Every structure is written in structure tokens, then in C-alpha cells.
Chains A and B, each alone.
Chain A
Amino acid sequence: MKRRAIEFKIDGITVKGSAGQTVMDVADQAGIYIPRLCDVEGLEPQGSCRVCTVKVDGRPAAACTQPAAHGIDVINNTPEILSYRRDLIKMLFQEGNHLCSICEASGRCELQAMAYRLGIMEPAKYPYLQPVRPIDASHPDILLDKNRCIRCGRCIRASQQIDRKNVFGYIGRGINKRVGVDGRNLADTDVDVNDSAVAPGTCPVGCIIMKRIGFHEPIGQRKYDNAPIGSEIEKTRSGRGKE
């Protein structure tokens, strides 16, 4: 059945989509980047990181889960919203042990890239929580460093929705919420190196890593060395500035 065509504005720019799409879907299609961490193509959105917060007709909403509707007015890029996003990213940095200088995900890490994109150049005012979470190196080919986990849930959804497994899942609530595995450790689960849950690009940070790869990708050739995060969406936009 053909979906009803809709039209609305993002930061004053008219965009076109169809009913059933999210605000994020339509924005992506139009080449307008709305920052996000927990949302990734191919997985159902869950709206947990809140980095994609926009204002829809004046009310905050997560663009990745907010249904698009005809005639709505979406505000994505204002100093106020950018300030919220910066605070969220800073809190993620403070909550985990994100030592970019020694992390092999550096240069392809979405958290780091988002910080650069949003112009975060200094530590936040919040205290570092400096968690001490044991590294799970039990699996012969996959390593989990949960000190770097941002609880985006991408591995959980990929395991459930694509791999049809339950290798990863949330444990605990509130500040104690964390990602666990379905077993004593990763080696005790039915994870496979070919699973989508552990594929490159599923984990946005350096929490799930393939062993013995490390720093094989030279500086200068890494995903975000030469173009900021979101530019892959923005470059699809035609006639930018003329609308």
C-alpha cells in the first residue's frame, strides 16, 4: 500500500517524506544530519541516547523515534539544542573511561567524532566516574571493554533483530544499568565472529573489538580522519542553501 506523502520543515527547510517514517528518516533522506549515537541504519530505533533530540512544534522529541507528520515544524540546529547535545556527550565521556589517546577505536569512534563535530574541546564540569569494569577477554577473537560502553544498545538490538540471538542484554537499572552477556562471559555465549552484533560499525565506540586488529588502520585513513561524522548524510543533499 502506498504511504501518504507528507511535507514539513526542518530548520525552515521544506522536506518531503511519507507517513510511517520518522523525523530522522526524512531528515536523512533530505541530506540533513541530525546527530545520533544509539540509532543506526538497519536496527529498530530505541531513542535512548537522546542526542538526536529536536524540537517538534516546540516540544523536545527524539528524532529517531518521533513519527514524521505533515505540517510539523522541526528545529534541529539551534544554540540551545546544540548545548543539550554537548551536555549529553560530555556526560557519556565522564561516565566511562574514554581515553581516546590510547583507544584503538580512535578515528572511527562515533562518540569521539560527535565530540569533535559538536566542538567539545575540553573536559566537562561533571566529575569523572572512572568505572572499574573487568575486561572480558574470554572469547578467542572478540574482546569486551565495558569501561567504554555507552549503553546505546546497538549490540543488543543487532543480536536480537538480525542475528536472532540474545548474546547481549541490559542488566540493572538507572545509573547501574549496563550491558551484560548471556552467560558467565562472552566465551560462554553463542556469539559468532560473523554476528552483526559484533560486526564493525555496530558498536559505536571501542567496547566490542575484534582481537589482534588494534591499530592496523593508519592515522589519516580512519573513517573520521578527513570528514566529520554526519558528512556522509550531508553530502547527499542537493542544492543546500537554496531552499
Chain B
Amino acid sequence: MARTKVIEIEPLTRVEGHGKVSIHLDDNNNVKDARLHIVEFRGFERFIKGRPFWEVPVIVQRLCGICPVSHQLAAAKAMDIIVGAKKLTPTAEKMRRLMNYGQIFQSHVLHFFHLCSPDLLFGFDADPKVRNIFGIIKKMPDLAVQGVMMRKYGQEIIKATSGKKIHGTGAVPGGINKNLSIKERDGFLKDIAKMKEWSLGALALARNYTLEHMEMIQDFAAFNSNHLSLVREDGALDLYHGNLRAIDAEGNAIFNQVDYRNYNDYIMEEVRSWSYNKFPFIKSRGQNDGWYRVGPLSRMNTVDFIDVPESRKAHEEFKALTNGKPNNMSLAYHWARMIEVVYCIEKIEQLLHDPDLQGDDLLVKGDRAEEGIGLVEAPRGTLFHHYRVNEQDQVTYCNLIVSSTNNNEAMNRAVTKVAHDHISGNPTITEGMLNHVEVAVRAYDPCLSCATHALGQMPLTGELYDAEGTLLERKSRTI
């Protein structure tokens, strides 16, 4: 009987949340299957039931400590519909947008500087004792300081718009609960030039890395896929609001400018027994061909243009690389992410000069509805929140399609491809080999469970079992 060996990488390091990868090998050490497992169960969709609807934006943001603003905003947008707020006041909408830009800015910066830059700057096979944020601090202290200060800037914007850097209460059904004071505004304007300079520096770093390593990148975890995101009515990038657009790997529209409240007509979710993460797909393409990617790479692929100058230029260069066709390289996520960092800081600057942010008209309401759907572009991609509320104001139904869920199939494909390319046929597990698999997952910046981390207690372990479950080989490292 043919024996199956299973290598497990658990937990994945330098990603948000906890997950593991299992790689199944045959007798000749050829990869038969590889999977990314999301090993935690959260249950928000269930325990939100019965709670009053106005609590929802504050409760569901607890899904995550990195992108809580996205959950707060998506839920608040759904609850806007519940309270009949068809159009928010300019102050409310712009404060929410500012909050969203602040969050995506800090989240992308965190990922680029703290999580993935050690791979890019030291190499995938570098000594893990060096290949981490402390290695960056030691070798490139200026860069490390930029990462820390940029993240702080984004976090302070979240605090000014939502009350706290993490898990604030700013976005409420029908609007916002505060405006931006002149003092807060001037504090941000004081540092905006430096933030732009550093953002452009990070963009150059990601761009140059991509172009200099194109031979490797165009193959590493690269595969064709559909792409999905919100786009503005004129086709521009918009991270707060828009309509759904999906394109195939060649750039052909699958659907375009779809009102996201009808997402159920276009998207379905599949459940597989081995993961708590569901597998969404585009209905019209079916389960096998309908899976898609979301996030910075997909947004750069789906949008027609960006409406602020520096990031517009960067987007045009990005598109030119693939002659206007979608870019399907997983490692190009990093470049796309840094274009969005520049986009966010340009948008933040625009908003800081807008007097609407100092307005006092914060809330609207209208005819009560029973069902609300809210979508935003989160740092990691399109985020779906869908609720039903009864006459007594209690939530009766909740469905969340979280950004990383949308990328589930893509991340599994990335893991499989890298396992095939870098592990198949190798008799011995090396740490660098395991890290190649992690690099592929990391490109997607997945938020696996949105959980907290235990610094210093995160060993990376590779284990080799036979078909009877006997441990054949184990390698582990503790950072």
C-alpha cells in the first residue's frame, strides 16, 4: 500500500492570526496535496444573533485587532440601511473615509515593514535568527523607524476618528459620533509631508524588488485567477464604497457595477470539512472555475484608474508591466499594497484640507428597514457584512464573508504550487523550504483568525508522519 507522508507547518508565522499548512507527499516525496488550514472557530455569525443592531459595529470589529475599522465600517454601512440613512452627511461620510484610509495605511505598513520585509530584504532562505523585524531594526534602523512611525500615524488617525486606536466606536448607524477638531487636523498636517515621502520610499522599495526579481516572481506562486473588488461608478479605486466588479484572468468582465446589496445573486460559499474558512466563488463560473482573488493585487487589476496623482502614476506603471492585463503574480501583492499606501496618504491629505470634517451634522435616519448589507474594501480585500433585524431591533441573521475568506482558494493554490516547486522530490525538510511556503501565504497578508499573538511563543514546526501517523521527522525553530 502506498504510504502518505504529511508535513505540517504550524503555526504559520508573520501572518495575522493562526493557521497551519499541511503538505501530503507520496513515497517518492512528490507533493500530492497541500492545504492551508484555518484552525480556529470564531462564531460571530451565531452569537451576534439576539443583540440589538446598534451594538453590531462595535461587537463584530472584535473579529480583528488589525482591521477592526473595516468590520466596524461594513457593519455600520449595513446598519445605515436598517435605520433608513440613505445618504450620510458629508461630515459623517468623510470621517468614515478618513478612518478607513488611516486603517489601511497602518495595516499595509505593518505587513510590509514588520511581516514581509525580512523575506524580501534578507532572502527567503536567510537565517531565521536574522530574518525578522529585529533583524531589520539592526541592519536598517532608519527603515524600521519609518515603519513604526508610519503605522503610528495611521493608528492616530483611527483614534481621532473612532475614539481609540483599536476597537473604537466612531461609526454608528446613520453616521459618526464625532468630527475632527482643528487641533487634531493640524497635528496630522504637521507630519503629512514626511508620511508621503516615506510612503513613496516604501513604494519604490516594493516596485524595485518586484522588477529586479521578475524572473522569480512571475513564477513563484503565480497562477491565473479571477479578481474581484468594489470600484467607483466611474471605475476609479474606492476603498470605502462602490459597486462590485469581477474580471477573469485575461481582464474580461464577469460582472460589472453590480449593486453589492445583490451580492447573493453573484457569489456563493462552499464549505470544506478540513477548514473553518469557507470557499466563496462566483456563481456564474461554478465551484471549480469561479474562485477569485481580492485585495491590493485584485484592486489594481479591477480598477480603471486612481484619482490622486502619485498613486495614479504608480498604478499606470503597474498595469503597464502586464500590458494592461491582470497581474496574476502572488508576490506582486507587495507592490500593489504599497501603491495603496501612497493612495491612502494622498487621500488623507486631501481630506485633512476639507472643512467638512469640522462639521457638526453627524447623523441621519429615515424609514426603518429589516435587512442591511454593507461592503467595504478592507486592507486584505472585499469585506461583506449582511444582517437581518426584527421589529424589536434584534439581529436575527448574520453572514460575513471576510476578506481572507475570499482569498482562501487562492492561498491554497499558492501553497500547493510552492510545495510542488520547492519541496517535491526533496528528501529532507529544510527551514528555508518551509519559509518558501510561508512567503507565498504571507503575500496575501491573510488575517486568519484576527487573534492576538504570544510574542516569543510561536515555534515554527515541520513534522513528517507516515500513513499510520507515526512521527518520522520533526524540525522546529523558536523565534
| Chain A at the B interface: SS class | loop
Looking at B162-170, B226-234, B269-277, B289-297, the stretch in contact with chain A turns out to be B162-170
Interface size (B, Cβ < 8 Å)?
25
What chain A residues lie within 8 Å of B169 (beta carbons)?
215, 218-219
Let me know if A218 and B177 touch, CB within 8 A. Answer: yes
B463: interface (CB < 8 Å): no
Q: List 30 A-B contacts (CB under 8 A).
A: A101-B62, A102-B55, A102-B58, A135-B51, A137-B392, A137-B393, A137-B394, A138-B392, A143-B52, A143-B393, A211-B54, A211-B393, A212-B54, A212-B83, A212-B173, A212-B393, A213-B54, A214-B58, A215-B54, A215-B58, A215-B177, A216-B177, A216-B363, A217-B177, A218-B163, A218-B169, A218-B177, A219-B163, A220-B163, A221-B178
What chain B residues lie within 8 Å of A135 (beta carbons)?
50-52, 394
What chain A residues lie within 8 Å of B163 (beta carbons)?
218-220
Let me know if B52 and A211 touch, CB within 8 A. Answer: yes
Residue from A101, A102, A137, A215 in contact with B172 in the complex, judged by beta carbons closer than 8 Å = A215
Let me know if B394 and A216 touch, CB within 8 A. Answer: no
Q: How far is the CA of A211 from the CA of B162 in the complex (A)?
A: 21
Q: Which residue on chain A has the smallest CB distance to residue B161?
A: A218
Ranked nearest first, the 5 interchain pairs of A and B with the lowest CB-CB distance are: A219-B163, A214-B54, A137-B392, A215-B169, A218-B178
What chain B residues lie within 8 Å of A217 (beta carbons)?
177
Residue from B55, B62, B83 in contact with A104 in the complex, judged by beta carbons closer than 8 Å = B55
What chain B residues lie within 8 Å of A216 (beta carbons)?
172, 177, 363
B59: interface (CB < 8 Å): yes
Cβ of B353 to closest chain A Cβ, rounded Å: 23
What chain B residues lie within 8 Å of A209 (beta carbons)?
52
B142-185 vs A, CB cutoff 8 Å, 1 = contact: the mask equals 00000000000000000000111001111011000110000000
Let me know if A214 and B393 touch, CB within 8 A. Answer: no
What chain A residues lie within 8 Å of B62 (beta carbons)?
101-102
What chain A residues lie within 8 Å of B55 (beta carbons)?
102, 104, 214
Tell me which residues from 172 to 219 in chain A have a Cβ below 8 Å from any Cβ of chain B. 209, 211-219
Q: Which residue on chain B has the smallest CB distance to residue A134?
A: B50
Let me know if A219 and B52 touch, CB within 8 A. Answer: no
* Further pairs besides A214-B173, A220-B163: 13, Cβ < 8 Å: A102-B62, A135-B50, A135-B52, A211-B52, A211-B393, A212-B173, A213-B54, A214-B52, A215-B57, A215-B58, A215-B172, A217-B177, A221-B178
Q: How far is the CA of A137 from the CA of B162 in the complex (A)?
A: 28
Q: How far is the CA of A213 from the CA of B169 in the complex (A)?
A: 12
What chain B residues lie within 8 Å of A221 (beta carbons)?
178
Cβ of B240 to closest chain A Cβ, rounded Å: 20
Q: Which residue on chain A has the smallest CB distance to residue B52?
A: A143
What chain B residues lie within 8 Å of A137 (beta carbons)?
52, 392-394
